[in-house]
Amino acid sequence: MSLPHPTADQISLPIVLAVLGDPTRLAIVRYLASKEGVPLNCSKFLDLASKTNLSYHLAKLREAGVTRSEAVGTSRLITLRRDDLDKRFPGLLDSVIAAADGDKDLPAVGTAEVEVSA
């Protein structure tokens, strides 16, 4: 199953900024940026929220064009669309991530170990 994603030209600055204004979504983006280019299973973020809530946040990121989600079996692999965002809004992602790195109030990702069956 293929999930809908906006093209690079369809990514809108107000929508990206609104999506990144949420602490949970910002924490997800910050973590994805730290694992640049490595697709991460959506279960990696379960320490941030319930499955339902996490699904909502990941959908918002995908719909805004910030992430790409690929369905693999019953899992979703999430990657950051850095190239598309950098082409569309040069320096934006780096600035947002740099500002977020110093924010101690953002939730931490990857602090809980989650068993995922293959």
Q: Which CATH number is 65's domain given?
A: 1.10.10.10
Domain range holding 71? 8-101
pTM for the full predicted model: 0.85
For the chain, how many structural domains are there in total? 1
In a domain, 60, yes or no: yes
pLDDT higher than 70, residue 19: yes
In a domain, 107, yes or no: no
Separation between Cα atoms, residue 58 and residue 42, nearest integer Å: 8
Which has the closest alpha carbon to 87: 16, 3, 2, 4? 16
Question: Is-contact 21 103, C-beta < 8 A?
Answer: no
Separation between Cα atoms, residue 29 and residue 19, nearest integer Å: 10
Q: What value does the mean pLDDT take over residues 13-29?
A: 94
Q: What is the pLDDT of residue 111?
A: 54
